[in-house]
C-alpha cells in the first residue's frame, strides 16, 4: 500500500491519497485554524481556482472561530460566558444548531458529553487558561462542578431568531468538542456551493468527504493507531458522504504530580478520564454529530460506550489499551465503512 498520510493537526485521523493521483489532479488547500489545521482536497479542480477558494474558506473559518472560540475574548461564545445575567442572548442559527445537537447528545450520554464542562476544563488547564502547577484541590473541583450542568443551558427560538440562556451566572460553555465538526460541515457546504462535488475536507480530527478522488475511487480516511509516537494506520474507511470524527486521550495531555492527564474530563467526577479506552471514532450523517458523540463515548469507557452505541445504532470504532497492545470494539454499522487496504 503506498499512502501519504497527512496527520490532521494533533488529532487522530489521517486523510490518505495515492501519491501520484494527488499531484496529478487534486487541488489541496490547507492552513491553520482554531489551534489546529484544516485541509480541503478537491478532485479535478483547476489550480487557478485556488486563490478565490482559499479566500472563501479562510473567511468562513474566521467567522466560525469568531462565533465558537473560547480562546478569543471577543467571540460570541466568550461574550456569552462573560455575561453574568440570565436574559436570553442572541446567537446565530448555526451556533444554535451546534448547541442543540450538543445538548441532545449530552442527554443521550447521561451528561458524559457536557458542553458546560468549561470551568473544569479551565481548572485542569486544557482551555485557554494556563496549566495548573499543582493538582486542583477537591474544594476547587467541587466549586467548578457547581457551575456546570446541561439543565442550566437553553436554546430558545423566539420570532425568527435564536437565543441562548443560562441560569447559573458562572456558567462557561465550551464548544471545543464540537467546533471542529461544525466547521467541517460548514466547509463542505461552502465547497458544494462552488459547484464542486468530489472533495474531502477536514478541520482537526473531523472529516467529511463526498464523491471520488482524482483517481475515480472513493476517498479514504485512516484512523491512526493510538500512540503519540507513531503515525501508523489502524484502519481505513470509505466515508460514502458521511462525517467522521475521532476523540482520543493520548495526544492531548500533560503530566502533573507524576500523573498523565487527558484533556477529556468526566463531568461526574470532575477529573480527567483514566480508563483504558484511548480512542473513539464515530461516523454519522454530519461531522458535527460525529464530533459530539466521540467525546461522550470516550468519557463513558469501553463497556458503557459500546452499550450506548448499540442502543443508538451508531457507527462506532473503539480502541482500548490492553497491556502493551490494543483491542478493537466496533458496531456492525461501523463495519460497513471499513475498507481492506489496497
**Residue numbers belonging to the annotated binding site for FAD:** 34, 71, 112-114, 174, 180, 265
Nearer to ligand FAD, 25 or 89 (CB): 89
Closest approach, Cβ 267 to ligand FAD, in A, equals 5
Binding residues: 34, 71, 112-114, 174, 177, 180, 265, 291, 295
Closest approach, Cβ 53 to ligand FAD, in A, equals 21
The whole-angstrom separation of Cα 299 and Cα 302 is 9
Nearer to ligand FAD, 218 or 270 (CB): 270
Nearer to ligand FAD, 155 or 265 (CB): 265
C-beta separation of 133 from 124 below 8 A = no
Nearer to ligand FAD, 24 or 32 (CB): 32
Locus of grid cell 473544569 = 120
Closest approach, Cβ 48 to ligand FAD, in A, equals 31
Nearer to ligand FAD, 225 or 263 (CB): 263
Q: How far is CA 6 from CA 116, 248, 266, in A?
A: 32, 17, 30
The whole-angstrom separation of Cα 240 and Cα 189 is 16
The whole-angstrom separation of Cα 203 and Cα 333 is 24
The whole-angstrom separation of Cα 35 and Cα 129 is 14
Q: How far is CA 163 from CA 6, 104, 126, 137, 339, in A?
A: 39, 17, 27, 35, 43
Q: Which residues bind ligand FAD (CB under 6 A)?
A: 11, 34-36, 65, 68-69, 71, 113-115, 117, 121, 126-127, 174-177, 179-180, 204-205, 247, 252, 263-265, 267, 291, 295, 299
Closest approach, Cβ 205 to ligand FAD, in A, equals 4
Closest approach, Cβ 1 to ligand FAD, in A, equals 26
Q: What SS3 state is found at 300?
A: helix
The candidate with the shortest Cα–Cα distance to 185, out of 238, 243, 102, 239, is 243
Closest approach, Cβ 158 to ligand FAD, in A, equals 25
Position closest to ligand FAD via CB: 179
Nearer to ligand FAD, 121 or 318 (CB): 121
The whole-angstrom separation of Cα 173 and Cα 76 is 11
CA distance between the termini of the chain: 6
Residues 318, 306, 38, 187, CA torsion sign: positive
C-alpha cell at 127: 482551555
Closest approach, Cβ 231 to ligand FAD, in A, equals 16
Amino acid at each position: 500500500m503506498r499512502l501519504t498520510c497527512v496527520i490532521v493537526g494533533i488529532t487522530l485521523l489521517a486523510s490518505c491519497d495515492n501519491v501520484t493521483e494527488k499531484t496529478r489532479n487534486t487541488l489541496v488547500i490547507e492552513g491553520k485554524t482554531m489551534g489546529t489545521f484544516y485541509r480541503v482536497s478537491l478532485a479535478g479542480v483547476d489550480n487557478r481556482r485556488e486563490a478565490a477558494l482559499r479566500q472563501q474558506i479562510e473567511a468562513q473559518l474566521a467567522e466560525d472561530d469568531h462565533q465558537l472560540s473560547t480562546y478569543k475574548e471577543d467571540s460570541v461564545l466568550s461574550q456569552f460566558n462573560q455575561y453574568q445575567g440570565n436574559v436570553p442572548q442572541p446567537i446565530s442559527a448555526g451556533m444554535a444548531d451546534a448547541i442543540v445537537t450538543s445538548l441532545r447528545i449530552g442527554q443521550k450520554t447521561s451528561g458524559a458529553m457536557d458542553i458546560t464542562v468549561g470551568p473544569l476544563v479551565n481548572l485542569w488547564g486544557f482551555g485557554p487558561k494556563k496549566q495548573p502547577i499543582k493538582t486542583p484541590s477537591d474544594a476547587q473541583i467541587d466549586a467548578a462542578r457547581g457551575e456546570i450542568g446541561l439543565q442550566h443551558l437553553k436554546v430558545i427560538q423566539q420570532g425568527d431568531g435564536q437565543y441562548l440562556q443560562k441560569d447559573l451566572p458562572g456558567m462557561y460553555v465550551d464548544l471545543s468538542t464540537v467546533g471542529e465538526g461544525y466547521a467541517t460541515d460548514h466547509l463542505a457546504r461552502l465547497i458544494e456551493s462552488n459547484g464542486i462535488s468530489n472533495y474531502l475536507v477536514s478541520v482537526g480530527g473531523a472529516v467529511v468527504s463526498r464523491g471520488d478522488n482524482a483517481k475515480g475511487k472513493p476517498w479514504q480516511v485512516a484512523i491512526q493507531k493510538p500512540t503519540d509516537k507513531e503515525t501508523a494506520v489502524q484502519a481505513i474507511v470509505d466515508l460514502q458522504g458521511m462525517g467522521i470524527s475521532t476523540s482520543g486521550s493520548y495526544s492531548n495531555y500533560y503530566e502533573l504530580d507524576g500523573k498523565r492527564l487527558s484533556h477529556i474530563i468526566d463531568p461526574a467526577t470532575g477529573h480527567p478520564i483514566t480508563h483504558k479506552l484511548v480512542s473513539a471514532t464515530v461516523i454519522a450523517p454530519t461531522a458535527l454529530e460525529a464530533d459530539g458523540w466521540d467525546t461522550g463515548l470516550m468519557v463513558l469507557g469501553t463497556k458503557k460506550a459500546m452499550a450506548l452505541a448499540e442502543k443508538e445504532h451508531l457507527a462506532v470504532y473503539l480502541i482500548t489499551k490492553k497491556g502493551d497492545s490494543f483491542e478493537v470494539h466496533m458496531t456492525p454499522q461501523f463495519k460497513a465503512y471499513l475498507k481492506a487496504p489496497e
